[in-house]
């Protein structure tokens, strides 16, 4: 399973290829991965400019004005940016075609990953219960000390 450093590396690798790009179309070869892919992914994402590529814990968030795609790589998933003409393989379940002529391809042999949607101003329930972000400025020795003593962080 990709751990937080691998997910952050993935985020940093994807950002230059995605930021400022418009989603031309989303192709779902499976309507579900770990969970059903919400209709909002194909209804709201196309036509949107990707304004942010963020990470929250092991989730990637691709932000637009219409909301954010929420991706988790599961145990064996990966995201690649490829020329759109590269044919999909048997485990390539989602293509996000970009205005650059490239495609963001989500490959997940075990289908433990997910592609979900988060509306603007909302927090997806999968993110709501997460603790402090360990790579943020807020996560310092004082916070770690309080947490180790049972103090709740809000």
Q: How far apart are CA 104 and CA 18, in angstroms?
A: 8
Q: How far apart are CA 130 and CA 82, in angstroms?
A: 32
Give me the helices (H) in 1-154, please.
Answer: 4-18, 39-44, 125-128, 141-148
Q: Please confirm, yes or no, whether 122 is among the known catalytic residues.
A: no
Residue of 3, 83, 85, 125 marked active site:
3
Let me know how many helices (H) and strands (E) the chain has, helices first: 4, 8
Strand bridging mode 92-98 / 78-83: unpaired
Instruction: Kindly report the backbone phi and psi dihedral angles of residue 27, in degrees, each rounded to the nearest multiple of 5, phi listed first.
Output: -110, 120
Closest CA to 77 of 42, 38, 33, 37: 33
Q: Please confirm, yes or no, whether 142 is among the known catalytic residues.
A: no
Active site residues: 2-3
């Amino acid at each position: 399973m990709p751990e937080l450093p691998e997910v952050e590396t993935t985020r940093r690798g994807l950002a230059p290829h995605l930021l400022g790009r418009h989603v031309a179309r989303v192709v779902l070869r499976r309507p579900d991965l770990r969970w059903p892919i919400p209709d909002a992914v194909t209804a709201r994402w196309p036509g949107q400019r990707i304004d942010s590529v963020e990470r929250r814990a092991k989730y990637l968030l691709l932000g637009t004005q219409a909301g954010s795609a929420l991706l988790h790589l599961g145990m064996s998933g990966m995201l690649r940016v490829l020329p759109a003409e590269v044919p999909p393989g048997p485990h390539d379940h989602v293509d996000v075609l970009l205005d650059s002529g490239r495609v963001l391809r989500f490959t997940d042999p075990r289908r433990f990953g997910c592609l979900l949607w988060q509306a603007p101003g909302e927090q997806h329930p999968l993110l709501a219960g997460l603790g402090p972000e360990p790579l943020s400025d807020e996560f310092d020795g004082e916070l770690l000390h309080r947490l180790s003593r049972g103090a709740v962080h809000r």
